[in-house]
Copies of this chain bind each other. A is one copy, B any other.
């Protein structure tokens, strides 16, 4: 099935209390699309955090204030190099500066991760369902680095309306062999795909995917967090 990904443009700068679901719905309609069952809406966390007020003023000298804030958001520092920390957040995600970010933030401020990104995704989904009667899946994304590979990729930090992981256990490949690859992080692939139409320098904070085959479900991005007992790199 053909997969189509539309960037959602024209969304204004977001501030605390803005009706983000309404702005996303308007942006979907500007593309000429009306929400349909099976659509997946991807929203970068930056606008979600701003709408929820997860923004902090950096008082005094900006650079040290930013470093202190990142440390404060970290529940565990996994690695440190100079001023950069790779840290586990309260959600369980491991990322640079515990997810605290200043790009596309008002100067003098930093944007935190949403308090509960799965819940944020759920709220957007329910608001759009209430307005349209259509139950989309929603993914909240962020931009993470990775060990061993240069460059950053977008991943999912919040999900509603679908499983975070596509579990192929028990299925077989074209030769009848049981699949070795049993768990696909489908929401991370969705976040990465959406980033291809969003771009970092432009102010496009969302995208809509149509034509994806997935099973609706009540997954959470927290399902992606590998526990320490299951991780060889902690």
Tell me the A residues contacting B by CB distance below 8 Å: 1-7, 13, 31, 79, 81, 86, 93-94, 101-107, 143, 146-155, 164-166, 168, 171-177, 179-181, 183-186, 188-190, 192-193, 195-197, 199-203, 209, 212-213, 223-226, 230-234
Q: How far is the CA of A172 from the CA of B103 in the complex (A)?
A: 9
**Pairs of residues from A and B, 10 with the lowest C-beta to C-beta distance, nearest first:** A151-B185, A193-B193, A147-B233, A192-B192, A174-B203, A189-B192, A94-B148, A79-B232, A3-B5, A104-B173
A153 adjacent to B192 (CB under 8 Å) = yes
Q: How far is the CA of A47 from the CA of B21 in the complex (A)?
A: 43
**CB-nearest residue of chain B relative to A5?**
B3
- Residue from B2, B155, B193 in contact with A149 in the complex, judged by beta carbons closer than 8 Å: B155
Q: How far is the CA of A153 from the CA of B153 in the complex (A)?
A: 11
Q: How far is the CB of A201 from chain B (nearest CB, A)?
A: 5
Q: How far is the CB of A85 from chain B (nearest CB, A)?
A: 10
A-B contact pairs, 18 of them (CB 8 A): A2-B6, A2-B197, A4-B4, A101-B180, A104-B175, A146-B147, A148-B231, A148-B233, A150-B223, A152-B183, A152-B184, A153-B185, A153-B189, A168-B200, A172-B201, A189-B195, A192-B192, A193-B193
A150 adjacent to B224 (CB under 8 Å) = yes
When distances are taken between beta carbons in the complex, the residues of chain B under 8 Å from A164 are 151
When distances are taken between beta carbons in the complex, the residues of chain B under 8 Å from A7 are 1-2
Q: How far is the CA of A29 from the CA of B101 in the complex (A)?
A: 44
B3 adjacent to A2 (CB under 8 Å) = no
Q: How far is the CA of A146 from the CA of B146 in the complex (A)?
A: 8
